[in-house]
A and B are shown apart, each in its own frame.
Chain A
Amino acid sequence: MDSIYISDEALGVGMNLVGVFGALITFALLIYFIFGRDQLKSLLLLDLLSGLRVTGKKLFEPKTTLHFPDEGESLPTSPRFKGMLALRRYENGQERCIACKLCEAVCPALAINIESHEHTDGTRRTTRFDIDAFKCINCGLCAEACPVDSIVCTDEMNYSFLRRGDNIMTKEQLLAIGDLYEDQIARNMEKDRA
């Protein structure tokens, strides 16, 4: 019987391997029966391996992170994103705001300040509509309270003030912001409704 020769050494290693595997399986079975499946899973580092699988996959995919503010002219946002506040107009240019003061009442940060009067056409209009951007917490409750969709949140989050005092946004500024962002606001509202 010369054709099949397994050296003693190799046999010793093979027998050792069988022994080690056997011991490991026995140990695993013991753990399984004594402590349960979960303990066994964590012992076998299966979760780690599945996580590493995702990492490995993502390692080779194209990157989505934007380095704000160096990158990211248009951030992808939800239609309900609560950015800078704005006041809207109707299509004919008339202010939507009717000075009902519900936003002022609901504002938890007391950031809104409104004064109103009777306009020459007999309607209720604001003479002052100030938002203190330092106080504003961008909760969006004002936009929710508004019965005429006048005060809204734009997508704009990239704004700052250089001088103290500029933080009080006046009615004219808010309306100008509204004019600037009207298309986007209308689009977001359409999406949100759908």
Chain B
Amino acid sequence: MSKEQSEQTVSIVLNGEKIEVKKNSRLIDIASQHGCQVPRFCYHEKLSVVASCRMCLVDIEGVNKPVPSCATAVSEGMVVQTRSKKAVDAQESVMQFLLMKHPLHCPVCDQGGECELQDVSMGYGKAITNYSGEKRAEVDEDLGALVATDMSLCIHCTRCVRFGEEVAGVKNLGLMGRSDQVKISTYLERGLQSEWSGNMVDICPVGALTSKPAKFSGRSWSYVQHEGIAAHDCLGAHISYHTMAKGYGSKHVLKRVVPRPCAEINSVWLSDRDRFSYEGLAHNRIETPMLRVGDTFRPLSWDDAGQYVMQMLADSSSGRIGGIVSPQTITEDAVAFKTVLDQLSADIDVGTHQNLGDELLPLRSSQLSLHRISKAKTIILIGCAVRWDQPYISLSIKEAVANGAKVLSLGSIRHQSVYPVHHEMVTPQMLVRRIGILFTQWDQCGSISHEWKQALQDPVVVLVGEEALIHPQAQDLRHLIHYYASVWSYDYALLPQGANHLGLSESGLNASQSGGTPWLKYTQKPLACLWVHDLDPVVDLGLNVESLAQTKIIVSASHWSLAIKNSADLVLPTVCPPENSGTYINYLGMKQHFSQACAPMHDARSLYQVCADLSEKLQIELNSKENLTRGINQSFTENTEKPIKIPQPSLVPEYNQKLMPIVLTPWVQTDLWVRNAPSLQKAYPKTKVALVHKEVSAKDIQALGYTQTLQSQDIAVGAVLYYNSDGVEGL
């Protein structure tokens, strides 16, 4: 061994075996890595060490008492016994103490079968107790719609408290009282105010915190695990779907979602949206294909529905045909959709409802990995509600801030964040111009504050969010940011809502027209037929249904919505991502494959299946899904592409139209699927807000469906925020 290596390693004797380990590593980790599992409750790899449960006591030679291995660093020559009589006695005693007041109603406890206390007491406990007194009973806490509590089961390991403080950044829970009066409680009775609350269910070693939506509905041993990719943000967290057989048949239903560890994306955590959206799968689904007859719908068989689709498309072949897919459409589906529709008509637009690329500057994968964000010194957010829209990125920013990074934000709304952010508020009209000024005249312009001047001198990373990407001048903004990325040598990332923007763009589904809202063109030039996939024509696309009276609208979607009921001429039930298989490409260009986790609900089919049936009827050649996946794997852009050079963009003028509502979709309203998840909707505010210029008359904005106004210091001067119903909370 070289000298350098020996400086970094120490040799210890673990259960009689001499091993070389890294200096300063924790004894509990070393023991586990070498096959000597040490029982633990309060210790969690991703949280700080408190050594309060005393379960991980081990015997170290030369130390009189057993020591907690989680709080002990290895040192040279340490002789450790994890199963000596002293260690075993200590572990058994601690186990008895922990079980002393823990109720033994495992059969009704939801944690039964996956409970660390059960496992550890079976492995390291004794089957006797010297205690014969009363058990402890606690009043349960109300932690909101997502986390159920049974505080009598709590063993006060404080994992949930530390998680709230260290990871989520929201101190909702605390340890109160002393001695046997100690309890975990909310400081104010407000429930959990965190987008990460579901993780407390995972880390709680006992049944004190369990999932409320899944309460009492299943047992860990009856679940079948399927690997999946989350479909709600542009990262695609790694998740496991847990399904359970319904009845004696083989049909499995989705029962819960848990995180799958992935160091590059979600570590071991999962945001509430990714975790609890599964509930939407069983609610409000479209059951069979439906044809509009007057004001009602008539159910159809898939065969008949195929005929009607053909007929509608054939009737419209002289006019323009539009096809819009949602950003969570699976890449294979999108390719098939484009292949089939392209054959039908010369005048066709197939795209997404949000345009993130154009001919000059197509959407490409970003180099800005979460690891690099967490190492950044200065982070600039442009119109980005990063905490809610992109929770995993927010977590990396939090890590960066903990390492001393500064965060600056430019936008019309002061979004909530769990770390200090220097906000600069601009009206929506001024947003893109202001960015131009910041990048070009940062050292001259008097209006630029000291913080920005200072920040722009350091290397920065730029994150562009939804508010900027739906801006009418979004194209100019992207050019600006891309051009100055090479000038100032910073990295940037576009972070839209929706999972598969890059995959769709690679499939050629970027609408050709410039601007952030390409679907608006459909209302200007009449369309003969419009096929909307997995989107709500009004809520997502902002279409004026009355102006589309002459257009045949085909909606293929998983869930009903009011607008689909009102506007669609033909409705096709399609599947949600867990019922489908395919590929998502996240903003980093990672191609993430997943397979079907559960059978489609009712009569739903995937868009690929629908297109395959159509292609058979039209005699169009369509690749098999496996071939499409292979094609995506081979031909789609790799991360190591050469940079795109664009000419220097000019300074953009202020957007001069007054009626330009920036409609911000709350993070639990981003797609049809998550809109139908009842517990998420209950737990988080779902009001859609529109930001308008203050000179816009109230009548104009009311025509768009917004009735209430709000002016607060969290909104840029000169802008007014309108919302539609429930009230605004947690912007």
Chain A interface (Cβ < 8 Å from any Cβ of B): 98-102, 104-105, 113, 115-118, 123-125, 128, 130, 132, 147-148, 168
Q: How far, in angstroms, from A115 to B218 measured CA to CA in the complex?
A: 7
- Is B525 an interface residue when CB atoms closer than 8 A count as contact? no
Instruction: Select one of B216, B246, B247, B248 contacting A124, CB under 8 A.
Output: B216
B216 adjacent to A104 (CB under 8 Å): no
Instruction: Decide if B133 is an interface residue (CB 8 Å cutoff).
Output: no
Give the residues in chain B near A113, CB-CB below 8 Å: 247-248
* Complex contact B107–A132 (CB within 8 A): no
Give the CA-CA distance A101 to B106 in the complex, in Å.
11
* B246: chain A residues within 8 A (beta carbon): 115
Partner of B219 from the list A105, A132, A168 (CB cut-off 8 Å) is: A105
A130 to chain B minimum Cβ distance, whole angstroms, is 7
**Are A118 and B248 touching (Cβ within 8 A)?**
no
* Size of interface on B: residues with Cβ below 8 Å to A: 15
For this complex, 24 residue pairs linking A to B, each with C-beta atoms less than 8 Å apart, are A98-B107, A99-B108, A99-B216, A100-B107, A100-B112, A104-B219, A105-B219, A105-B221, A113-B247, A113-B248, A115-B217, A115-B246, A116-B216, A117-B217, A118-B217, A123-B108, A124-B108, A124-B110, A124-B216, A125-B216, A130-B248, A132-B248, A148-B107, A168-B248
Q: Does B215 contact A (CB under 8 A)?
A: yes
State the B residues within 8 Å of A (CB).
Answer: 106-108, 110, 112, 215-219, 221-222, 246-248
B248 neighbours in A (Cβ, 8 Å): 113, 130, 132, 168
Query: A117: which B residues are within 8 A, CB to CB?
Result: 216-217
Chain B residues within an 8 Å CB radius of A98:
107-108
Chain A residues, CB < 8 A from B112: 100
- Of all chain B residues, which has the CB nearest A128? B247
Q: Which residue of B lies closest to A99 (CB)?
A: B216
7 cross-chain pairs, A with B, having the tightest CB-CB distances, nearest first:
A100-B107, A124-B216, A118-B216, A124-B108, A147-B107, A101-B219, A98-B108
Q: Closest B-chain residue to A116, C-beta based?
A: B216
Tell me the nearest residue of chain A to B219, going by C-beta: A101
Interface class of chain B by DSSP: loop
- Residues of chain A with a CB closer than 8 A to B222's CB: 101, 104-105
- B373 CB, nearest partner CB in chain A, Å: 40
Chain A CB count within 10 A is highest, among B112, B218, B219, B247, for B219
Chain B contacts of A100 at CB under 8 A?
106-108, 112
- B248 (CB) vs chain A CBs: closest residue: A113
| Closest Cβ–Cβ distance, residue A128 to chain B (whole Å) | 8
Q: In the assembled complex, how far is the CB of residue A149 from the closest CB belonging to chain B, in whole angstroms?
A: 12
Chain A residues lying within 8 Å of B217, measured Cβ to Cβ, are 115-118
Q: Which residues of the other chain, B, contact A102 by a CB distance below 8 angstroms?
A: 107
B614 CB, min distance to chain A CBs, angstroms: 38
Inter-chain contacts of B107 with A (CB < 8 A): 98, 100, 102, 147-148
Give complex CA distance A116, B112 in Å.
14
Give 6 new A-B contacts, CB below 8 A, not counting A104-B222, A130-B248.
A100-B106, A105-B221, A113-B248, A117-B217, A118-B215, A124-B110
A104 to B222, CA, bound (A): 9
A34 to B110, CA, bound (A): 76
| B218: A residues at CB distance < 8 A | 116
CA distance A100 to B110 in the complex (A): 9
Given the complex, which residues of B lie within 8 Å of A104, measured CB to CB?
219, 222
Cβ-closest chain A residue relative to B247: A113
A133 to chain B, nearest CB (A): 12
Residues on the A chain within 8 Å of B215, using CB: 118
CA distance A60 to B292 in the complex (A): 87
Q: Are A130 and B216 in contact (CB under 8 A)?
A: no
Closest residue on chain B to residue A98 by CB atoms: B108
- Residues from chain B with a CB closer than 8 A to the CB of A124 are 108, 110, 216
For A116, what are the chain B residues with a Cβ–Cβ distance below 8 Å? 216-218
Report yes or no: A130 in contact with B247, Cβ–Cβ below 8 A.
Answer: yes
Cα distance, A132 to B216, chains bound together (Å): 23
Q: Which residues of B contact A115 (CB under 8 A)?
A: 217, 246
Q: How far is the CA of A130 from the CA of B247 in the complex (A)?
A: 8
In the assembly, what is the distance between CA of A123 and CA of B107, in Å? 12
- What's the minimum C-beta distance from B109 to chain A, rounded to whole angstroms? 9
Closest-by-CB residue of A relative to B140 is A122
The distance in angstroms between the C-alpha atoms of A132 and B248, with both chains bound, is: 9
| B216 surroundings in chain A (CB, below 8 A) | 99, 116-118, 124-125
Residues of B within 8 A of A99 (CB): 108, 216
Report Cα–Cα, A132/B219, bound state, in Å. 20
User: Which residues of chain A come closer than 8 Å to B247, judged between CB atoms?
Assistant: 113, 128, 130
Q: How far is the CA of A104 from the CA of B217 in the complex (A)?
A: 14
The answer for the CA separation of A19 and B222 in the assembled complex, in Å, is: 85
Give the chain A neighbours of B219 by CB distance below 8 A. Answer: 101, 104-105
| Residues of the B chain whose Cβ atoms lie less than 8 Å from the Cβ of A168 | 248
B540 CB to closest chain A CB, in angstroms? 33
| B contact residues around A105 at 8 Å (CB) | 219, 221-222
B550 to chain A, nearest CB (A): 48
**Complex Cα spacing A108 to B106, Å:** 22
Q: How far is the CA of A99 from the CA of B105 in the complex (A)?
A: 12
Complex-state Cα separation, A125 to B248, whole angstroms: 19
User: By CB atoms of chain A within 10 A, which of B108, B216, B221, B246 has the most?
Assistant: B216
Closest to B112 in A: A100
Complex Cα–Cα for A161 and B132 (A): 51
Tell me the bound Cα distance from A125 to B217 in angstroms: 9
Complex alpha-carbon distance, A101 and B222, angstroms = 9
CA distance A162 to B500 in the complex (A): 55
Whole-angstrom distance between the alpha carbons of A118 and B216 in the complex? 6
Q: What residues on B are CB-neighbors of A125 within 8 Å?
A: 216
Query: How long is the Cα–Cα vector from A113 to B249 in the complex, in angstroms?
Result: 10
Please measure, in the bound complex, the distance between the C-alpha atom of A113 and the C-alpha atom of B246, giving whole angstroms: 8
> What is the minimal beta-carbon distance from B110 to any residue of chain A, in angstroms?
8
Chain B's nearest CB lies how many Å from the CB of A86?
19
| Bound Cα distance from A147 to B112, whole angstroms | 13
Complex Cα gap A98–B219 (Å): 13
Which of B106, B108, B215 has the most chain A CB atoms closer than 10 A to its own CB? B108
CB-based nearest B residue for A101? B219
Complex Cα spacing A96 to B219, Å:
19
- State A148–B219 Cα separation when bound (angstroms): 18
Chain A proximity of B153: nearest CB distance (Å) = 14
Considering the chains assembled together, what is the distance between the CA atoms of A98 and B110 in angstroms?
12
Q: What distance in Å separates the Cβ of A55 from its nearest Cβ neighbour in chain B? A: 51
A30→B552 CA distance, assembly (Å): 114
**A148 — which chain B residues lie within 8 A by C-beta?**
107
B664 to chain A, nearest CB (A): 35
Docked Cα-Cα span, A148 to B105, in Å, equals 11
A181 to B106 alpha-carbon distance, docked (Å):
29
Q: How many Å from the CB of A141 to the closest CB on chain B?
A: 16
